[in-house]
């Protein structure tokens, strides 16, 4: 899994355990990383910072039940370098600094790719998580981060059976994975592009599956006064419970939303939704959704991020479509009786986390009003970061 970094440091404060007997070198590493002095008073412990270019500590030879570096684990408990608080099996290993943060035995192996050879029609939710970029399975008993559980559900969280509405794709028309070999597609219709197995042509592909929406949905749009969104149908979601790496302060992932509802059903009851519901809910948000446009609207046919389309006025709104129609080619959303439809292009959502805690993410899409005129979302490039962020933000991927 590719891991996004930045050179912003994260601080670790050493615990009260004495470091006087630790056999560690006293040199200073890069990125302002300074090793602890042999202080005996807990109040004299210095703060340790690390960044993407922090150099490795050398010469640690402790092997006992004492937590010498104050990171919550002793050498006998599984800490492969108990002189270095940046090293712990509960950390994620970011590349380029020569440090084996996660005690895997290999420095800088955090970019392991796990989405090679996935089959397009897999119904294994753990494989779907791999296509998204979540490669590692957690071992909570040992504090090892990763996916605790993955399952397919309806947007309201109830159990679901996959019916070609999930695809582990190596391409979607002209759209390639953002990282690795595969990406996850979720659809209110069929998660396929022309030429792929089980592709069903045409916009009217409803399956008639009725269910509820996530808590707080549907939401009406301020820009569509008087419009009442229809009942949800044909929804599917991937729900993953994740033990967050202890050194992570945020995560990000990419998404690309396609909809047949454009251009004829702007500001109508037929408003297909895509959301990412996060638990625990972030503060200062009206609900659990962390993916929304520049006007704080959920991603839907009414959202402000529809940028891949034919420039036009639709539903009383102007769509300049700066990405043009290229992202729609060979997707099934490029032509029909109503002309080319629309997509957002790739967007990145970033959200804060607390290291060492569990979070649940539910990536959900559904039709509104009826099961016709479907929408599809591509998901990929999940990454952890040591960089803090003040809240959830979604923005177009820079070109």
Structure tokens, 31: 């990125």
105: three-class secondary structure by DSSP: coil
The helix (run of H) or strand (run of E) holding residue 125 is helix 125-132
Composition of the chain by helix, strand, coil, percent to 5: 5, 25, 70
Contacts of 45 (CB under 8 A, 6+ apart): 13, 14, 15, 16, 36, 39, 70
Beta-bridge mates of residue 240 = 150, 361
Q: Are strands 347-352 and 232-243 parallel, antiparallel or unpaired?
A: unpaired
Look at residues 340, 371, 338 and name the one whose alpha carbon lies nearest to residue 270.
371
Structure tokens, 189: 């219709």
Look at residues 399, 384, 343 and name the one whose alpha carbon lies nearest to residue 185.
343
Query: What pLDDT sits at residue 129?
Result: 98
Which position has the token pair 């970033």? 350
Query: What pLDDT sits at residue 98?
Result: 78
Contact, 50 vs 43, CB < 8 A? no
Structure tokens, 59: 């010469």
Residue 157 and residue 362: Cα distance in Å, rounded?
A: 8
Contact, 190 vs 204, CB < 8 A? no
pLDDT along the chain (399 residues), means of 10: 37 35 36 29 34 50 85 81 83 79 76 86 98 92 90 97 97 97 97 94 79 91 85 96 95 97 90 96 95 91 93 91 95 79 97 97 94 93 94 93
Q: Read out DSSP for 194-210?
A: TTSTT---SS------B
Chain centroid to CA 14: 31
Single pTM value for the model = 0.83
Contact, 259 vs 341, CB < 8 A? yes
Give CB contacts under 8 A, 24+ apart, made by 224-231: 224/266, 224/267, 224/302, 227/267, 227/268, 227/269, 227/271, 228/269, 229/269, 229/271, 229/368, 229/369, 230/269, 230/270, 230/271, 230/368, 230/369, 230/370, 231/368, 231/369
Q: Are strands 250-259 and 375-385 parallel, antiparallel or unpaired?
A: antiparallel
């Amino acid at each position: 899994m590719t891991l996004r970094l930045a050179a912003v440091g994260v601080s670790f404060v050493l615990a009260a355990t004495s470091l006087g007997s630790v056999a560690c070198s006293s040199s200073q590493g890069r990125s302002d990383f300074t090793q602890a002095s042999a202080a005996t008073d807990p109040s004299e412990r210095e703060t340790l910072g690390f960044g993407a270019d922090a150099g490795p500590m050398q010469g640690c030879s402790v092997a006992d039940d004492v937590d010498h570096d104050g990171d919550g684990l002793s050498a006998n408990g599984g800490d492969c370098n108990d002189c270095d608080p940046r090293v712990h099996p509960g950390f994620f290993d970011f590349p380029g600094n020569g440090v084996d943060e996660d005690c895997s035995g290999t420095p800088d192996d955090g970019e392991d790719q796990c989405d090679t050879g996935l089959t397009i029609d897999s119904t294994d939710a753990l494989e779907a998580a791999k296509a998204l970029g979540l490669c590692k399975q957690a071992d909570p008993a040992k504090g090892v981060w990763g996916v605790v559980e993955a399952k397919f559900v309806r947007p309201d969280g109830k159990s679901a059976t996959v019916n070609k509405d999930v695809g582990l794709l190596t391409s979607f028309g002209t759209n390639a994975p953002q990282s690795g070999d595969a990406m996850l597609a979720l659809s209110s219709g069929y998660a396929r592009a022309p030429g792929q197995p089980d592709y069903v042509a045409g916009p009217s592909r409803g399956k008639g599956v009725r269910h509820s929406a996530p808590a707080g949905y549907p939401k009406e749009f301020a820009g569509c006064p008087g419009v009442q969104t229809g009942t949800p149908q044909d929804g599917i979601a991937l729900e993953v419970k994740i033990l967050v790496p202890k050194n992570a302060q945020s995560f990000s992932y990419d998404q690309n939303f396609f909809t047949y509802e454009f251009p004829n059903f702007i500001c109508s009851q037929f408003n297909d939704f895509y959301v990412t519901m996060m638990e625990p809910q972030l503060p200062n948000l009206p609900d659990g959704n962390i993916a929304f446009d520049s006007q704080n609207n959920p991603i839907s046919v009414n959202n402000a991020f529809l940028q891949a389309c034919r420039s036009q006025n639709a539903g009383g709104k102007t769509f300049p479509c700066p990405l043009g129609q290229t992202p729609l080619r060979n997707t099934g959303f490029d032509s029909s009786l109503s002309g080319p439809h629309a997509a957002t292009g790739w967007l990145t959502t970033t959200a804060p986390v607390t290291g060492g805690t569990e979070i649940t993410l539910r990536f959900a899409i559904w039709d509104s009003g009826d099961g016709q005129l479907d929408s599809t979302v591509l998901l990929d490039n999940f990454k952890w970061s040591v960089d803090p962020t003040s809240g959830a933000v979604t923005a177009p991927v820079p070109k």
